[in-house]
Amino acid sequence: MARGIKDKVAILGMGCSRFGERWDMDADNLMVEAFDEAMADAGIDVSQIDAAWMGVGFDAMNIGPSGLPLSIALRLPNIGVTKVENYCASGTESFRGAVYAVASGAADIALAVGVEKLKDTGYGGLPVRSRGTTFDMLGVTGSAPGNFAQVASAYRAAHNVSKEDLKRAIAHVSVKSHANGAKNPKAHLRKVVDMETVLNAPMIAEPLGLYDCCGVSDGAAVAIVTTPEIARALGKTDLVTVKALQIAASNGWELQHAGGWNGSYFHPTRIAAKRAYDEAGITSPRDQLSLTEVHDCFSITELVTMEDLFLSDEGQAWKDVLNGDFDADGRIPCQIDGGLKCFGHPIGASGLRMIYENYLQLLGRAGDRQRKTPPSLALSHNLGGMPSQNVSAIAIVGLADV
Amino acid sequence: MMAPTSSPTDVGILSFGAYVPRKRLQRSAIYAANAWFAPGLKGLAKGERSVGDWDEDSITMAVEAARDTLTGIDRASVGSLSLASTTLPYVDRLNSGIVKEALTLSDGVAALDMTGSQRAGVSALRAALEAASGRTAPHLCLAAEMRKTCPASDLELTSGDAAAGLLIGQGDVIAKFLGAYSLTLDFVDHYRTPGMDYDYFYEARWIREEGYVALTARALKEGIAALGIEPSSIDRLLVPISAKGIAATLAKKAGIAEAAVADTLQAGLGEAGSAHGLVMLVAALESAKPGEKILLLGFGQGADLILLETTDAITRLAPRDGVAGSLARGAKDENYMRWLVHRGLVDIDKGMRAEQDQKQPSTSLWRHRKAVMGLVGGRCTKTGTVQFPKSDISVNPNDRTAGTQEDYPLAELPARVMTVTADSLSYSPSPPLYYGMVDFDGGGRMTVEFADVAEEIEVGSEMRMVFRIKAVDEMRGMVKYFWKAAPVR
């Protein structure tokens, strides 16, 4: 019976480009920006990298197919380069490739890169694209806000929450993230925003308004991973190790089995969370987790994810959010770096950007954003698809000796 | 007089149905926009006319009328169908074949599109009634019209979008076929060729005197003689011509009682082109008592006359929407501009999201035609799990059965909303785009667009599935159809 990879892999270095409307940068330029930082942090030479993974969500619309763009942009030494895509969970998916390569013994040092150049699309929001010939005939081509907004109607019906209460709760999520992002020089959006502005913003997809939706931006993030032994041999003392890495994918149950899923939560997130806590040896996440970075593509997603990660009781997250439980000074800060809300969502990069913040926080390197109580375990949750069919990827990283 | 019963060899109408789109564009709104150019239209600017939504066309309306017609009838019993219209989306792709798929009729049916004149609907009915004694199964006779009309024309004000259906056969008929008469004369009151956007009409005064009155009066005179009709015995005279006073003039000339002249439905619907004769027939049948003699006229490069007599079976017909039910579910619309955009008469800046390539691979449509056109899902014969669409492996997590699903049609099942949103970001010809997930009674679930939305849709709202245009591949001219959920009213 496989026991997981807890403490088998350490993060040697990480980098993250500035996220935003990088009009003067291509995907390659962004990868180099993040890679340079990661390499300086790792203190190694490129010849020491054994294998690489690249996560991109919309390759047809920016970088093109295959792993070649990564190999060419970074002039990697003819090593294996694997392109991965799992919708918006592509960032964690590339991390998974690199981590498993090291955990299996197939590679000593592996590279994970996530990148997306979205601002050549020509309009706001994610580019419209086919989801397959059959889906295009039988499914609804909705926007991301529209697909996720449906959770709100179902959550209200399931837990008897009024329109006004839920609207205030999701607004609080965005106000909190903006307050955090204002302290982050790499974030795209750095302005504080108040409740009234969020509540009265134009509607995008009922009930999500402008400030309930993360923006679209360009960015890249990089992780270099190795074994704890190699990391120490290279001179690293404080180690951040991977405690758990779990992905769960929908199989059509939510989408097709009437009377099953009630639309108000993310089924694979609950499954991935349980598996991740088991793998990491976490028995009480509410007590043991210091920080979370979750997939706040939309404020409602972050809110229900608190329940899906078992950090709030079912139907209670809206109250916990309003109570400040997940604010920067709350019991378990969520998106202490500003989240997708302030960074925007360059699809392939987001999962790695989440791990980047968790990594910095664990090493005490987060500057103005540093969590007051020193963190020991941090979770990132990276979700691809839509509420009715999705891939939920959870990574838990922590100090090596925890 | 004793109400006539039908005998097994009687040929006639077994059932009827109709569909009028919900939106009722106020004629005053049309006139207000065009009065600067054509103040003379004021006389026609009263009441309202029905207008289909952006996702409706003659095929979708025909499907709805057919569903109404087949209320309580086993679809497998239908042996053939025809669709009459001068506004069919395809010149060469069997339009009635698309209707057949939407209705999930047997593959072994005959189908025919009928077009070419404003009397196509009535001509199709004559042909169906005369063929009935040679057929072994009932024939579904449909007509639908959604005319493209030039802004500031008379026709724009007097037309209306609608569809009607009649099931024709032998046996327990609700109306017996007593005979028909036709005149065919190349009277070119108007015409339209495939390249033309609009009909070209000649002088209204001439059309009225030589066409509507003279030609039609001759048809009535000759027809009444040929069929041996006693004019005073006609209970209803159906003349689908909207020009004022025509029907009354014809009745007088033919010796038919003034009281028999049927309302042309101008005030609340409009003239539905080649379908209008059948629309008026359905309106007559839904209020008719047994023993009424109905004389139906069709006009278009000649004339058709059809004589029918209702039987006592009409009292036993299950209730259906018909024309009255459709008219009762109207929604007042004053947005003339939106309608012009929807009919493609005015451009609007759709934005880049509308650039999505809508290519429809025929191969994929063929494989999935029952799901796409008929909303046919799957039901596991082992567990009873219903799902949409069918799949090799069942979605039921408790029993991963494979290869056990049988076809299971979902279109007629009531559905309830499970999630909902109004998406202002996605491109929609009529923003915002409403959609969500619905659960069907007895099982089955899908994510689907919502149509005909006017009031707030909540989780739990009752919906019924309707056949609509899903998208148009503008680059390649293909119209893509699928089902949507509409609020039950």
Domain annotation covers residue B219:
yes
- Residues B244, B322: one domain? yes
Q: What is the pLDDT of residue A356?
A: 98
B81 pairs with which residues across the strands? B111, B140
**Chain A hits for B436, Cβ within 8 Å:** 150, 153
Statement to judge: residues B254 and B391 lie in one domain = no
Q: Do residues B37 and B185 both lie within one domain?
A: yes
Q: A201 and A223 share a domain?
A: no
Of B385, B437, B439, the CB nearest to A388: B437
Q: What is the ipTM of this complex?
A: 0.92
- Collect all residues of chain A within an 8 Å Cβ-Cβ radius of residue B467: none
Residue with tokens 């060469």: B92
What crossing angle do the helices spanning A299-308 and A144-159 adopt, rounded to 10°? 50
pLDDT tens, residue by residue, A312-365: 999 999 999 999 999 999 999 999 999 999 999 999 999 999 999 999 999 999
Instruction: Find the closest chain B residue to A138 by CA distance.
Output: B372
Going by pLDDT thresholds of 50, 70 and 90, the confidence category of residue A62 is confident
For A226-263, how does the pLDDT look when each residue is reduced to its tens digit (9 = 90+)?
999 999 999 999 999 999 999 999 999 999 999 899 99
Mutate to test the interface with A, among B392, B427, B445 (most CBs of A within 10 A): B445
Domain that includes residue B382, residue range? 376-409
> Around A120, how many Cα atoms within 13 Å sit in the side-chain half-sphere?
13
Which of B55, B349, B447 is the best mutation test for A, with the most CBs of A within 10 A? B447
The nearest CA of chain B is from the CA of A124 a distance in Å of: 9
Buried b (16+ CB within 10 A) or exposed e, A214-235: bbbbbbbbbbbbbbbebbeeee
How much is the pLDDT for B4? 65
A368 residue type, one letter: D
Neighbours of B348 (CB within 10 A): 12
Closest Cα of chain A to B54: distance in Å? Answer: 17
Give the pLDDT score at B489. 86
- Asked whether residue A296 falls in the same domain as residue A358, the answer is yes
Nearest Cβ partner for A123 among B352, B365, B459: B352
Verify that B36 and B144 share a domain, yes or no: yes
A259/B387 touch (CB, cutoff 8 Å), yes or no: no
Q: What is the nearest CA distance from A4 to chain B, expressed in angstroms?
A: 26
Nearest residue in A to B420, CA atom = A150
Two tokens at A399? 């100090």
Residues B309 and B214 in one domain: yes
Whether residue B371 lies inside any domain: the answer is no
With CA atoms as reference, the chain A residue closest to B432 would be A205
Q: Which of B391, B398, B423, B482 would you mutate first to test chain A, the one with the most A CBs within 10 A?
A: B423
- Over 80: is that where the pLDDT of A58 sits? yes
Which residue of A140, A151, A152 is in closest CB contact with B448? A140
Q: Which of B24, B271, B40 is nearest to B153 (CA)?
A: B40
Q: Which residues pair with B202 in a beta bridge?
A: none
Note down the domain range covering A308.
143-208+244-399
Catalytic residue among A88, A214, A334, A342: A88
In chain A, what percentage of residues exceed pLDDT 90?
96
Number of structural domains in chain A: 2
Would you say residue A238 lies in a domain? no
* Catalytic site includes residue A345: yes
Task: Using the 3D structure, point to which of B409, B432, B454 is the last residue of a domain.
Answer: B409
Q: Quick check: B444 and A258 CB within 8 A?
A: yes
How close is the nearest chain A Cα to the Cα of B91, in Å? Answer: 23
Residue A87 sits in a domain of what CATH number?
3.40.47.10
Same domain, A27 and A154: no
Instruction: Return d(Cα B234, Cα B252) in angstroms, integer.
Output: 12
Residue B227 placed within a domain: yes
Q: Supply φ then ψ for residue B437, to 5 degrees.
A: -110, 145
- The reply to whether the predicted model has a pTM over 0.90 is yes
Q: In the listed set B367, B385, B409, which residue is the last one of a domain according to the structure?
A: B409
Residue B360 makes CB contacts below 8 A (sequence gap 6+) with: A136, A137, B473, B478, B480
3 state DSSP class of A311: coil
Q: What is the structure's pLDDT at A3?
A: 86
Write the residue in B435, B439, B444 that is nearest to A140 by C-beta.
B435
Yes or no, beta carbons of B356 and A141 under 8 Å apart: yes
Half-sphere exposure of B278 (CA within 13 A, CB side): 41
Domain boundary residue, one of B342, B363, B388:
B342
Can you tell me the distance from the alpha carbon of B292 to that of B224, in angstroms, rounded to the nearest whole number? 16
- For residue B74, the distance in angstroms to the closest alpha carbon of chain A comes to 26
How many contacts, defined by CB atoms under 8 Å, are there between A and B? 138
Distance CA B231, CA B253 (A): 10
Q: Chain A residues with CB inside 8 Å of B480's CB?
A: 137
Candidates B437, B468, B473, partner chain A, best to mutate (most A CBs within 10 A): B437
Q: Are B439 and B485 in contact, with CB atoms under 8 Å apart?
A: no
Instruction: Please indicate, yes or no, whether residues B387 and B423 belong to a single structural domain of this protein.
Output: no
Residues A101 and A248 in one domain: no
Q: What is the dihedral of CA A89, A93, A99, A102, to 10 degrees?
A: 180
Does A307 lie in the same domain as A186? yes
Q: What's the confidence (pLDDT) of residue B2? A: 57
Domain assignment of residue B243, yes or no: yes
A142·B426 Cβ contact <8 A:
yes
Chain A residues at the B interface, defined by Cβ less than 8 Å, are: 122-123, 125, 128-130, 133-134, 136-143, 145-147, 149-154, 156-157, 203-206, 251-253, 255-260, 262-263, 387-388
Residue B22 in any domain: the answer is: yes
Instruction: Give the angle B372-B377-B381 at the CA atoms, nearest 5°.
Output: 155
Give Dmax over CA atoms of chain A in angstroms.
58
Residue B397 has a pLDDT of: 86
Q: Tell me how far apart the alpha carbons of residues A75 and B291 are, in angstroms, rounded to a whole number.
A: 91
Q: Does A393 fall in a domain?
A: yes
10-residue mean pLDDT series, chain B (489 residues) = 69 98 98 98 97 98 98 97 98 97 98 98 98 96 98 98 98 96 98 95 97 97 96 98 95 97 98 98 98 98 98 96 97 98 97 94 96 98 96 90 95 97 96 97 97 93 98 95 96
Q: Classify A22 as helix, strand or coil.
A: coil
Q: Is residue B355 part of a domain?
A: no
Q: Which residues of B touch A142 (CB under 8 A)?
A: 421, 423, 426, 433, 435
Mean pLDDT of all residues in A154-159: 97
| One domain, residues A222 and A190 | no
Question: Is B457 domain-assigned?
Answer: yes
Dihedral of CA atoms B87, B91, B92, B95 in degrees, nearest 10, equals 0
Task: Kindly state whether residues A116 and A157 are assigned to the same domain.
Answer: no
CATH code where residue B453 lies: 2.40.50
Angstrom distances, CA of residue A51 to CA of A54, A63, A76, A96: 10, 20, 9, 12
How much of chain B is in helix, strand and coil states, percent to nearest 5? 30, 30, 40
The number of folded domains in chain B is 3
CATH number reported for the structural domain that contains residue B129 in this entry: 3.40.47.10
Q: Is residue B321 part of a domain?
A: yes
Give the largest Cα separation in chain B, rounded: 75
Q: How far apart are the CA of B256 and the nearest CA of chain A, in angstroms?
A: 53
Contacts of B458 in chain A (CB under 8 A): 153, 157
Task: Decide if A128 and B353 are in contact by the 8 Å CB cutoff.
Answer: yes
Q: What is the CA radius of gyration of chain B?
A: 23
CB atoms within 10 A of CB B78: 22
